[in-house]
Amino acid sequence: MVGRGPSRWSHVLRWRLDPPEVEPVAWFAGRLYPRRCAVSADGSLLGYYAMAGRPPPWDSYLAVSKAPWLHALAAWHWGSSWHWGCEFLADGR
């Protein structure tokens, strides 16, 4: 789950179902787009689209990290917000 915190920050939350609880995990100095994020089928990876307001190439980018953290295992520069976001296929790609 991705939420908005103070105006220039985004917050990642871990939502556990058994037992039901929501746990705060990571803050991001920028904007994460929840509708452009995805979690892999096994729940181990988080793909996200971020705009950080930094100089290129880290102004806007796609990244994959170990869920629910935001430390990128891989990242790709994306020059604008015109992007469909992240998606994991059923086979894990």
Instruction: Please tell me the predicted confidence (pLDDT) of residue 4.
Output: 54
Instruction: Please tell me the predicted confidence (pLDDT) of residue 5.
Output: 53
Question: Mind listing the pLDDT tens digit for each residue in 73-90?
Answer: 999 888 766 777 788 888
Instruction: Please tell me the predicted confidence (pLDDT) of residue 81.
Output: 67
Amino acid identity, residue 44? S
Amino acid identity, residue 2? V
- Residue 16 vs residues 6, 13, 30: alpha-carbon distances, Å: 24, 10, 25
Instruction: Please tell me the predicted confidence (pLDDT) of residue 43.
Output: 86
The parts of the chain modelled with pLDDT lower than 50 are: none
Map out the domains of the chain as residue ranges: 2-77
Global pTM reads: 0.79
Q: 46 Cβ partners below 8 Å, 6+ apart?
A: 12, 37, 38, 39, 40, 64, 65, 66, 67, 68, 69, 70
Instruction: Please tell me the predicted confidence (pLDDT) of residue 69.
Output: 92
